[in-house]
Chains A and B, each alone.
Chain A
Amino acid sequence: MKLVDRSAFDVARDVNARRLSAREVTDAALAQADAVDGQVGAYLRVEYDLARAAAARVDARIASGERLALAGVPLAVKDNMCVIGTRTTCASRILEHWTAPYTATAVQRMLDAGCIPIGKANLDEFAMGSSCENSALGVTRNPYDLSRVPGGSSGGSAAAVAAREAAIGMGSDTGGSIREPGAFCNLVGFKPTYGRVSRYGLIAFASSLDQIGPLTRTVRDAAMAYDVMSGHDPMDSTSLPRAVEPASRALPTDLRGLRVGIVREFDLQALAPAMRTIYERAYAELESLGAALVDVSLPTVDYGVATYYLIAPAECSANLARFDGVRYGLRVDAADVGTMYEQTRAQGFGPEVKRRVLIGTYALSSGYYDAYYVRAQKARTLAAKDFAVAFGACDIIASPATSCPPFTLGAKSDPYSMYLMDYYTIPMSLAGVPALSVPCGWVREAQADLPLGLQLAAPHFAEPLLLGAAHAYEQATGYSARVSPAAAGSATGIEEPA
């Protein structure tokens, strides 16, 4: 096994045991990025100096006798999270040259635990999109098929981990932005309960939905990352002041006694036959691990996308108002301040960002507020109630993560079909419950094997249960083990030391 193929768990264990140095792991990750990222395009910038300095610090701490939960683990940071001294762009022209003067809390926790920041990963501009194609600063390709998208918006973080350019990717999920790229890149993509991970330093898209989480090649790695990044932060009023139960300690290998809800409204008949087969098999696999499948209903689930596309744009229309050319970022000079605002924002924002700012502004406008924003909030309350009722009858919910496998770049040109990509993931975001996608098999399309993800969701704060179920499923099925062609094709991976 090449060094870059190693899980975060293995790397941290060996660096802590001084069988491996953070420096070696870092060099291997940087070399892998040099070798494959020209094709994959996961990173907007590889942070060589930052990574090597971090590696030196981790090695020094290990040498002084410290043990670090994620010692030497290479990390891809989505470029909507502030890291002091690095450009933090949100893949937008408006922040293309902005350098963050502080570090996001969740990133800082990962760095303090020994992670090595390899680079800042591409995303859909301001995390708005489901394919990474809305990036204004670069193209990211799916390491399992370079003609296809990696998913989005955390597509860069997902591609980096799938291409072995990092062991953990930090993503943010607003309506599926971790889970969908996780599914598309054959990874575990985990969105914790809203409020579990601090948003301080995460450049906001939709504040009431945004949540940071990990993208990893194993469930255990996701659990380890979650244990490190979660917990109350006094800098974020929405972060929960509730103790976090560690999820990585005891991960079960079977699902005996677990009631898995299959959502009646998520009818597998709606899927292409090849995909339907995969999910039928996945449910059967859960059952064979000892789970009891139960029929549950989420009656308002079909309103999810419409609800989401009012609330998220409404919040983003205000969140993005600060990008005005006055204090930082792009400024297009003009004769008066009003024109300066208009020109700066016209040139700085891409079309999808503008569309959402406009939708949101409209939805909040006098005369429309009650018909749109207020009704959407009511629908959101109903969505949360749906889950509360369903979780009375089951412990976790299983569903497809996406309605299709990774598609080719440029295939989805109309925004509405792109919005529907989040059909399965949005309801959990509206309810604020933890959810993840875990690899569940392959469909063959145009001579390529394309990964699919199984989505599992649990009640608020039930992360240990959720990750435990995903771990048992992953251990029994092993779909996550297949290495991406882009990663495997690299000739520069450093072999494991003897």
Chain B
Amino acid sequence: MKATYEAVVGIECHVELKTRTKMFCGCANAFGSEPNTNVCPVCLALPGALPVPNGVAIEQTVRAGLAFGARIPAYSKFDRKNYFYPDMPKNYQISQYDMPLVQGGEVRYWLEDGTMKRCPLVRIHLEEDTGKSTHAGSGDGRIAGSLYSLVDFNRAGVPLMECVSEPALHSAADAVAYLASLRRTLMELGVSDVKMEEGSLRCDANVSVRLAGEAALGTKTEIKNMNSFRSVQRAIESEVDRQISLLERGERVVQETRGWDEANGVTHPMRSKEQAHDYRYFPDPDLVPLEIAGDDVERLRVGLPELPWERFERYTRAFGLGSKQATQLIDTPSLARYFDRVVNASSNPQQSANFVLGELSRLANDSGVAVADSKAEPEGVAELIVLVEARTVNSKIAKELLERMWRNGGSPKAIVEDEGLAQTNDADEIENLVEGVIAAHASVVADYRAGKSNVIGFLIGQAMKASRSKADPQLVSELMKKRLR
């Protein structure tokens, strides 16, 4: 009988901030430029060059901290983290050691079933990114066996926010839900693109296991090289299993850094604690300590947008949406804002969600244009919802109208009035249509009466067609059935 283990996971995220310029110089902060084109004496660490901090990056980090309910100390400072690496121009990284910009706070996240949870943060600090090395001649891009390496310093000096959670997550699913919430929040704040595939969001996981109920933490390993939420999930699951197996066999977990091997689904050792660097942190004498004024913090706090978990609670509690629909909306901030405007004008959250996530999202996928960027105004969509609810138009007409609004904008009400597209609810008129169809398709009617009940669909379709789709399909169906009985 196996003992019951509990996983303990902490997540460290590196987030590239979406500022116009780099952290300590005026170079453009842009992804995908020609190598070594966004560089200057400062970010190349030429002799004599000095760093000047980017105020916007500091402000964005403070905003992130405020969003997570963290403490913003009145004083903060930058430190030098010393180690040699060819893509780090100064051979020290300007980072923050013991006085980060942001202390504490918590990320609220929810699981697929809508359960809301909290994970406390240790800190958020600001630092600079390194350049990027490309190793040539080894065939596989690895440094081992390569003939030479090329370094692109475009990324060197890009502002990087490091967000460290407490080891308070207890499953891979929690870790991914935490990450998703963190990502949504930073996206909502507009501080980062948070794209794992472009490296603007990178994360490592500290993983340990312990017997359920124990208070002391087990020996942890640090997992690197996880390039998607899915690989985070798999890597943590794999590492938890590995550690449990070790303990079950009576072995010990060694404190070390391990790399996730996506292809083989396992983690591999990278370096042990004994090989760990002594970074020799000390305050950067090129930069003066930061004083964060309380008034500035208040101004930023007041300017915070509605945060994802607040939105989630509003959508699920006040609007009654399901967890899945609510999450889908929140995952794209512009879509959520669009949805809010539709609800505001239609007063019908469920239909608004159905339209936005259904027909509008399909049009967005087909056209490659985001819903919020289409010609269809949220107020127009709301008008359409009102028309559908009032059964003024049927769903087929509604779909056509939406496609027209997507391309050309406009008011659906006006189109319906101009073109006489309003649904026909007049029973006499529909009865006439039904009579006409029955008269014209005597053999089909005979089939129906002989027991082939499915042919009724054809007869209803003919009646709809005769009405140019304007007849209320429900009424057509009712009257058709009644007439054929």
Q: Interface segment, A139-147, A266-274, A319-327?
A: A319-327
Do B82 and A364 touch (CB < 8 A)?
yes
Q: Does B457 contact A (CB under 8 A)?
A: no
Q: Which residue of B lies closest to A199 (CB)?
A: B50
Do A341 and B84 touch (CB < 8 A)?
yes
Within the complex, which residue of A237, A361, A365 is in contact with B50, where a contact is CB–CB below 8 Å? A237
Known: A237-B288, A321-B90, A373-B282. A327 touches B45 (CB 8 A): yes
Within the complex, which residue of B80, B86, B149, B286 is in contact with A238, where a contact is CB–CB below 8 Å? B286
Q: Which residue of A lies closest to B83 (CB)?
A: A321
Do B84 and A321 touch (CB < 8 A)?
yes
Per-position 1/0 for B269-305, Cβ under 8 A of A? 0000000001011100111100000000000000000
Per-position 1/0 for A47-79, Cβ under 8 A of B? 000000000000000000000000000000000
Q: What's the tally of chain B residues with a CB closer than 8 Å to chain A?
A: 29
Known: A321-B84, A322-B90, A337-B86. A238 touches B288 (CB 8 A): yes
Q: Does B41 contact A (CB under 8 A)?
A: yes
Q: Which residue of B lies closest to A340 (CB)?
A: B86
Do A95 and B52 touch (CB < 8 A)?
no
A224 to chain B, nearest CB (A): 24
Q: Which residue of B lies closest to A345 (CB)?
A: B84
* A residues in contact with B49, CB < 8 Å: 200-201
Interface residues of B in 1-55 (CB under 8 A from A): 41, 44-53
Known: A200-B50, A235-B52, A322-B47. A365 touches B278 (CB 8 A): yes
Known: A322-B89, A337-B86. A366 touches B280 (CB 8 A): yes
* B residues in contact with A236, CB < 8 Å: 50, 52
In the docked arrangement, what's the CA distance between A324 and B281, Å?
20
A320 to chain B, nearest CB (A): 9
Q: Does B116 contact A (CB under 8 A)?
A: no
Q: Which residue of A lies closest to B40 (CB)?
A: A102
In the docked arrangement, what's the CA distance between A236 and B151, Å?
27
Q: Does A202 contact B (CB under 8 A)?
A: yes
Do A326 and B151 touch (CB < 8 A)?
yes
* A residues in contact with B89, CB < 8 Å: 322, 327
* A residues in contact with B80, CB < 8 Å: 318
Q: Does A207 contact B (CB under 8 A)?
A: yes
Within the complex, which residue of B45, B51, B52, B149 is in contact with A322, where a contact is CB–CB below 8 Å? B45
Known: A82-B48, A327-B89. A237 touches B282 (CB 8 A): no
Known: A237-B287, A324-B84, A337-B86. A202 touches B48 (CB 8 A): yes
Do B48 and A318 touch (CB < 8 A)?
no
A412 to chain B, nearest CB (A): 28
Do A208 and B285 touch (CB < 8 A)?
yes
* B residues in contact with A390, CB < 8 Å: none
Interface residues of A in 181-206 (CB under 8 A from B): 199-204, 206
Do B48 and A81 touch (CB < 8 A)?
yes
Q: Which residue of B lies closest to A94 (CB)?
A: B47
Do B51 and A237 touch (CB < 8 A)?
yes
Q: Does B361 contact A (CB under 8 A)?
A: no
A367 to chain B, nearest CB (A): 9
Interface residues of A in 223-266 (CB under 8 A from B): 234-238
* A residues in contact with B286, CB < 8 Å: 204, 207, 237-238
Do B51 and A321 touch (CB < 8 A)?
no
In the docked arrangement, what's the CA distance between A430 and B280, Å?
22
A136 to chain B, nearest CB (A): 15
Q: Which residue of A lies closest to B151 (CB)?
A: A326
Q: Does A282 contact B (CB under 8 A)?
A: no
B92 to chain A, nearest CB (A): 5
* A residues in contact with B52, CB < 8 Å: 234-237
* A residues in contact with B50, CB < 8 Å: 199-200, 235-238
Do A328 and B288 touch (CB < 8 A)?
no
In the docked arrangement, what's the CA distance between A234 and B26, Å?
11
Do B91 and A322 touch (CB < 8 A)?
yes
Per-position 1/0 for A306-321, Cβ under 8 A of B? 0000000011011001
Known: A315-B285, A322-B91. A104 touches B84 (CB 8 A): no
Q: Does A442 contact B (CB under 8 A)?
A: no
A109 to chain B, nearest CB (A): 15
* B residues in contact with A326, CB < 8 Å: 86, 151
* B residues in contact with A328, CB < 8 Å: 46-47
In the docked arrangement, what's the CA distance between A315 and B285, Å?
8
Q: Which residue of A lies closest to B53 (CB)?
A: A237
B334 to chain A, nearest CB (A): 36
16 contacts across the A-B interface (CB closer than 8 A): A82-B48, A234-B52, A236-B52, A237-B52, A237-B287, A238-B287, A238-B288, A321-B92, A322-B47, A323-B47, A324-B84, A326-B151, A327-B46, A364-B281, A369-B280, A373-B282
A contact residues vs B (CB 8 Å cutoff): 80-82, 88, 90, 95, 98, 100-102, 104, 199-204, 206-208, 234-238, 314-315, 317-318, 321-324, 326-328, 337, 341, 361, 364-366, 369, 373
Q: Could you list 17 further interchain pairs (A-B, Cβ under 8 angstroms) beyond the known A88-B47, A327-B45?
A: A82-B47, A90-B47, A100-B47, A234-B52, A237-B50, A237-B51, A237-B287, A238-B287, A321-B84, A321-B91, A324-B91, A326-B86, A326-B151, A327-B44, A327-B89, A341-B84, A364-B82
B contact residues vs A (CB 8 Å cutoff): 41, 44-53, 80, 82, 84, 86, 89-92, 149, 151, 278, 280-282, 285-288
Query: Across chains A and B, which 8 residue pairs bring their CB atoms closest together, nearest first?
Result: A321-B91, A208-B285, A207-B285, A364-B280, A203-B47, A201-B48, A322-B45, A366-B278
